[in-house]
Structure 1
Amino acid sequence: MTDTAKIPDVSADVSAEERLGTVGVARRAAGAPESERASRLWWDADADDYLAEHGRDIGESEFVWCPEGLREADAGLLGDVRGRRVLEVGCGSAPCARWLAAQGAHPVALDLSGAMLRHAAALGAGTGISVPLVQAGAERLPFADASFDIACSAFGAVPFVAEPERVMREVARVLRPGGRWVFAVNHPMRWMFSDDPGPDGLTVRQSYFDRTPYVEVDADGRATYVEHHRTLSDRIRDIVAAGLVLDGLVEPEWPEGRETVWGQWSPLRGALFPGTAIFVCHRP
Structure 2
Amino acid sequence: MESSGSVGRRPVTDAESRHAGRRWWDGDADAYQAEHGTFLGDADFVWCPEGLREADAGLLGDLSGKRILELGCGAASCARWLRGRGAHPVALDLSAGMLRHAAAASARCGVPVPLVQADAMALPFPDGAFDIVCTAFGAIPFVADSAAVMREVARVLIPGGLWVFSVTHPIRWIFLDDPGEAGLTAVHPYFDRRPYVEQDVSGVPTYVEQHRTLGDRIRELVAAGFVLRDLVEPEWPEGHEQIWGQWSPLRGRLFPGTAIFVADRP
Query: In the alignment, is the contact (CA less than 8 A) between 1:22 and 1:216 conserved in 2?
Result: no
- Equivalence for 1:5: none
Distance in 1 (CA, whole Å) between partners of 2:167 and 2:62 is 23
Structure 1, unaligned runs of 5 or more: 1-20
User: 2-side partners of 1:30 and 1:128: how far apart?
Assistant: 41
Q: Which residue number in structure 1 is paired with residue 109 of structure 2?
A: 127
Provide the C-alpha distance between the structure 2 equivalents of 1:97 and 1:116, rounded to a whole number of angstroms.
14
For 2:203, which of 192, 196, 221 is the aligned residue? 221
Compute the RMSD of aligned alpha carbons.
0.9
CA distance in 1, matches of 2:55, 2:105: 20
Q: How does 1:86-125 map to 2 (within 5 A)?
A: 86-125=68-107
Aligned to 1:159: 141
Aligned residues: 264
State how far apart, in whole Å, the 2-side matches of 1:22 and 1:255 are. 38
Tell me the equivalent position of 1:79: 61
1:190 matches 2:172: yes
Which residue identity lines up with residue 58 of structure 1 in the other structure? L
* 1:53-98 Cα shifts (integer Å, max 9, x gaps): 0011111100000000000000000000110000000000000000
User: Which of 20, 29, 41 in structure 2 is aligned with 1:59?
Assistant: 41
Deviation at 1:205, TM superposition (A): 1.0
CA distance in 1, matches of 2:177, 2:55: 29
Give yes or no for the alignment of 1:43 onto 2:32. no
Who is 2:119 aligned against? Answer: 137
What is the CA-CA distance between 1:22 and the residue it aligns to?
5.3
* Counterpart pick for 1:273 among 251, 255, 258: 255
Residue 233 of structure 1 aligns to a residue in which SS? helix
Normalised TM-score (structure 1): 0.92
Structure 1 distance, partners of 2:4, 2:53, is 34
Deviations 1:217-265 (A, max 9, x none): 0111000000010000000000000001100000000001110101100
Give the aligned residue type for 2:82.
L
Alignment of 1:13-32 (within 5 A): 23-32=5-14
For residues 112 and 22 of structure 1, do their structure 2 counterparts lie closer, same or farther at Cα, with a shift above 3 Å needed? farther
Shift of 1:45: 0.4
1:188 and 1:89 mapped to 2: Cα distance?
20
Residues 1:199 and 2:189 are matched in the alignment: no
Alpha-carbon distance in 1 for matches of 2:255, 2:120: 29
Q: Give structure 1 regions of 4+ aligned residues with deviation exceeding 3 angstroms.
A: none
Q: Is the 1:66–1:155 contact (alpha carbons within 8 Å) kept by the matching residues of 2?
A: yes
Question: Within the alignment, does 1:236 sit opposite 2:218 as a pair?
Answer: yes
State the AA in 1 paired with 2:89.
P
Tell me how far apart the structure 2 counterparts of residues 258 and 65 of structure 1 sit (CA, whole Å).
Answer: 15
1:262 is matched with 244
Normalised by the length of structure 2, the TM-score is 0.98
178-187 or 21-30: which moved more? 21-30
> In the alignment, which of 112, 128, 135 is matched to residue 146 of structure 1?
128
**Per-residue deviation, residues 125-156 of structure 1 (Å, max 9, x unmatched):** 11100100000111111110000000000000
1:26 deviation in Å? 3.6
Tell me the CA shift for residue 27 of structure 1.
2.7
Distance in 2 of aligned mates of 1:188 and 1:86: 26
Q: Taking every aligned residue pair, what percent have the same amino acid on both sides?
A: 67
Distance 2:10 2:234 in 1: 31
